[in-house]
Chains A and B, each alone.
Chain A
């Protein structure tokens, strides 16, 4: 078996890259050591957000991805339960509201749609919100998908365009010709390829190590609580506290929690989000889930008597500068990366896949990939490993 492109990882980023590369005419093989979307892709809420991003390359990629989700992938939106539900960011204090307003000024300049929401209009958007809040902002572009279905259908569509998907196949090394990467060694045999794309998410650092290049992706753990099903539209939008934006951008290793509350098509309410750097520890943290519940109740007092059915956790692929790694690796020609999207991978996957396919085909990508360059990290970052 040979290929133009081997994609390592069948998460949402790998699936999107495989899909767009297959459409561009490349012969693609996806190798995945576990099952489809078995890592972080199945451990989140499926958010396509612009609201939580400050001016910069990540917001550019998020806005670009919005276009891909709605236009290129628009005809398939129903397959993965795409819902343009909108996001409501709320501030508890006047100071919080002031910084939210300032953030939105910059966001508007970049092309984000934002509507200011006054204190007394909040409950028109969300009838069950706590009455004590200072105000908020509504982001109509924020949307949601069911990420497992995204992965499964993108890979199905890629297969229909000629791609092959090998699950339970682990990459154990790279085929090399001098510095050049010429394929992968796997538990299922060698696969020579014109290019290899590292889309291994939180585990991408380990794949890069096999090619003897350094990509500093670290796990940042998060918990989500799932409630019993409630009547439809009890909570209509993705609702979160303004402090969330600051927590996302923080590099602190200690536990941070900012309430993010939203309804789903199944009627359950999802409650996030926590962030902590504790390696790959899978034990339930009473402190983290307790704090999530407390903060969700502060936003929506009616949730106090609602029962939680389960909690789940995942590991966001986190880079020290909070930007993903996208593009060819000059240190190992033939090796490409699309990883490190932290908590935004579902939303950013569509744009990432499209850009990678353009660059692989030798075209000028729609967005400049320089801010996402794989070799941008100073060598001192080694200390973080």
Chain B
């Protein structure tokens, strides 16, 4: 029987790092599980620390926060107060009779390269703080399956994690402020950035007085990006979308068109721009496999993403399960750190580890973090309203545009399943036409499929459309051999 930790923190990005460090500081026994080889998550992704160069962290924001968390993590690991398991993914969480959680882990990399035995392992904990983060949200567009088309975050990850430029002449497209660091990062690394193609107006969030005032630092960040864009002479095309990605066998150009400001209907003349890299991002999709597996209640957020419902102590609707960071609503690193910290402090109080003498101090910390989170949420909501996915985006599709690339399901297939076969919701659509049934299990096409199901049935997208495409019975694929091991060591189930 393995030791039971007070808390298992899943994810070592901004939220998870803060949660783990704060939990251990409060005296809890912590296991920190992360898919990556080194901490930081997507936001603070950096080159292999064993071969670091001074300029690896250029362009990183909030680096002081990261450095401080990182130092505390190292100290707590050294003191045996945090068990840190990098390179592992949680693929199943089950609950025992006593309410404790059993987490099944599988190594991220193959056993041949990471030196471990490659077998899955299990850890048990009394409580969970889930900080699974998110990834780029994608909308299908004709030609998006050509080599040379990437997620904006993917292009950035290659730069930050591997010092690799994914192309020489890039177009960065979609919507949202995240396009700017991707474009300036590529430009600074030596790529030509032919254009940033932004579907919405620019700097709309600066016009939202309440939202913007909530987090003043963000305004400065925006001005820095604007200056960088100017220095690298990156054209910024507003109210414009990629209509089609062109090329024989790989990306050669994009065709862009102006769209109606109100709903995103194609409105203007088209134009071709040569490119060998297209980086696409339409906001972010939170990773909800683990909270959904545990039965946590979810809702549709301002940006249209499915997110976990939490209370003002980061508690989900499932007892003992706290959730922090993007999974509770996309809002960026600073907000995620505050949520991670609050969940840890709240858990320590719930487990009565906060000493009586410091009760007042703890109350003050909770009050301060709640305020920070409230302001962060307000700012995030303002951003989401300024950079929505255009309502009419499905009108950009043609019958042959692939929506699900794994199973090669086209928009036309989805139209037929709705019109002829009576699919009225995303789950039925998935079962009839197979979008989201392939390798990625709907991670890429899930949002688009849910929106298409709703749009073809002439109604708004709901959480019920998003849920079946976000739920995964196994959080990551595992071999049948690993599954078979459950038969022996799972008492009752």
State which of A115-123, A126-134, A292-300, A367-375 sits at the interface with chain B. A292-300
Does any Cβ of A come within 8 Å of B428's Cβ?
Answer: yes
The answer to whether B474 touches A310 (Cβ under 8 A) is: yes
Which residues of B262-319 have CB atoms within 8 Å of chain A's CB atoms? 293, 295
Does any Cβ of B come within 8 Å of A305's Cβ?
Answer: yes
Q: Which of B92, B431, B438, B478 contacts A284 (CB 8 A)?
A: B92
The answer to whether A306 touches B479 (Cβ under 8 A) is: yes
The answer to whether A290 touches B487 (Cβ under 8 A) is: yes
Which residues of B451-493 have CB atoms within 8 Å of chain A's CB atoms? 472-474, 477-481, 483-488, 490-493
The answer to whether B422 touches A307 (Cβ under 8 A) is: no
Does any Cβ of B come within 8 Å of A385's Cβ?
Answer: no
State which of A32-40, A68-76, A238-246, A333-341 sits at the interface with chain B. A32-40
Chain B 419-463 interface mask (CB, 8 Å, partner A; 1/0): 011111101100110100111010000000000000000000000
The answer to whether A228 touches B439 (Cβ under 8 A) is: yes
Does any Cβ of A come within 8 Å of B65's Cβ?
Answer: no
Please list the 5 inter-chain residue pairs (A to B) with the smallest Cβ-Cβ separation, ordered nearest first. Answer: A290-B486, A290-B487, A293-B483, A285-B493, A287-B493
Does any Cβ of B come within 8 Å of A384's Cβ?
Answer: no
Does any Cβ of A come within 8 Å of B94's Cβ?
Answer: yes
Q: Which of A38, A149, A255, A307 contacts B478 (CB 8 A)?
A: A307
Closest to A307 in B: B477
| 29 cross-chain CB contacts under 8 A | A35-B424, A36-B422, A36-B424, A148-B431, A149-B421, A153-B421, A228-B477, A266-B407, A271-B480, A283-B295, A284-B293, A285-B490, A286-B92, A286-B94, A286-B486, A286-B493, A287-B487, A289-B486, A290-B490, A292-B483, A297-B481, A297-B484, A303-B480, A305-B479, A307-B480, A309-B439, A309-B441, A310-B441, A310-B474
The answer to whether B477 touches A308 (Cβ under 8 A) is: yes
B-side contacts of A256, CB under 8 Å: none
Q: How near does chain A come to B228, taking the closest CB pair, in angstroms? A: 42
Known: A38-B428, A310-B441, A310-B472. A155 touches B480 (CB 8 A): no
> Besides A42-B431, A284-B94, A284-B293, 18 other CB < 8 A contacts?
A35-B425, A36-B422, A36-B428, A149-B421, A153-B421, A167-B424, A229-B438, A288-B493, A289-B486, A290-B483, A290-B486, A293-B486, A296-B480, A306-B480, A308-B478, A309-B439, A310-B441, A312-B473
Q: How far is the CA of A6 from the CA of B424 in the complex (A)?
A: 21
The answer to whether B427 touches A38 (Cβ under 8 A) is: yes
The answer to whether B422 touches A287 (Cβ under 8 A) is: no
A-side contacts of B94, CB under 8 Å: 283-284, 286
Which residues of A293-350 have CB atoms within 8 Å of chain B's CB atoms? 293-294, 296-297, 303-312
Residues of B within 8 A of A (CB): 92, 94-95, 102, 104, 293, 295, 407, 417, 420-425, 427-428, 431-432, 434, 437-439, 441, 472-474, 477-481, 483-488, 490-493
Q: How far is the CA of A123 from the CA of B92 in the complex (A)?
A: 35
Q: How far is the CA of A228 from the CA of B479 in the complex (A)?
A: 10
Q: How many pairs, one residue from A and one from B, have CB atoms within 8 Å of each other in the complex? A: 124
Q: How far is the CA of A283 from the CA of B93 in the complex (A)?
A: 10
The answer to whether B487 touches A291 (Cβ under 8 A) is: yes
Q: How far is the CA of A266 from the CA of B479 in the complex (A)?
A: 19
Interface centre among B427, B434, B472, B493 (most CB of A within 10 A): B493
Q: How far is the CA of A308 from the CA of B484 in the complex (A)?
A: 11
The answer to whether A287 touches B484 (Cβ under 8 A) is: no
Q: Which of A156, A271, A290, A293 contacts B422 (CB 8 A)?
A: A156
The answer to whether A148 touches B481 (Cβ under 8 A) is: no
Q: How large is the interface on A (under 10, 10 to 19, 20 to 34, 35 or more residues)?
A: 35 or more
Does any Cβ of B come within 8 Å of A152's Cβ?
Answer: yes
Interface centre among B94, B441, B477, B485 (most CB of A within 10 A): B477
Does any Cβ of B come within 8 Å of A227's Cβ?
Answer: yes
Q: Which of A36, A149, A167, A305 contacts B481 (CB 8 A)?
A: A305
Residues of A within 8 A of B (CB): 35-38, 42, 148-149, 152-153, 155-156, 165, 167-168, 225, 227-229, 255, 266, 271, 283-294, 296-297, 303-312
B-side contacts of A305, CB under 8 Å: 479-481
The answer to whether A266 touches B434 (Cβ under 8 A) is: yes
Q: How near does chain A come to B260, taking the closest CB pair, in angstroms? A: 33
The answer to whether B483 touches A225 (Cβ under 8 A) is: yes
A-side contacts of B473, CB under 8 Å: 284, 310-312
Q: Which of A35, A294, A303, A309 contacts B428 (CB 8 A)?
A: A35
Q: How far is the CA of A305 from the CA of B111 in the complex (A)?
A: 13
Q: How near does chain B come to A30, taking the closest CB pair, in angstroms? A: 11
Q: How far is the CA of A308 from the CA of B437 in the complex (A)?
A: 12
Q: How near does chain B come to A55, taking the closest CB pair, in angstroms? A: 34
Interface centre among A228, A288, A307, A312 (most CB of B within 10 A): A307
A-side contacts of B432, CB under 8 Å: 148-149, 152
Closest to A294 in B: B484
Q: How far is the CA of A339 from the CA of B248 in the complex (A)?
A: 55
Q: How far is the CA of A288 from the CA of B484 in the complex (A)?
A: 10
The answer to whether A155 touches B422 (Cβ under 8 A) is: yes
Q: How near does chain A come to B105, taking the closest CB pair, in angstroms? A: 14
The answer to whether A293 touches B487 (Cβ under 8 A) is: yes
Q: Which of B420, B424, B479, B487 contacts A307 (CB 8 A)?
A: B479
Closest to A37 in B: B431
B-side contacts of A293, CB under 8 Å: 480-481, 483-484, 486-487
A-side contacts of B484, CB under 8 Å: 290, 293-294, 297, 304
B-side contacts of A306, CB under 8 Å: 479-480
Q: How far is the CA of A286 from the CA of B490 in the complex (A)?
A: 6
Q: How far is the CA of A46 from the CA of B92 in the complex (A)?
A: 27
A-side contacts of B481, CB under 8 Å: 293, 297, 304-305
Closest to B480 in A: A293
Q: How far is the CA of A228 from the CA of B480 in the complex (A)?
A: 11
Q: How far is the CA of A306 from the CA of B479 in the complex (A)?
A: 5
Closest to A289 in B: B483
Q: How far is the CA of A290 from the CA of B295 in the complex (A)?
A: 21
Closest to A165 in B: B422
Q: How near does chain A come to B89, taking the closest CB pair, in angstroms? A: 13
The answer to whether A156 touches B480 (Cβ under 8 A) is: no
Q: How far is the CA of A35 from the CA of B428 in the complex (A)?
A: 7
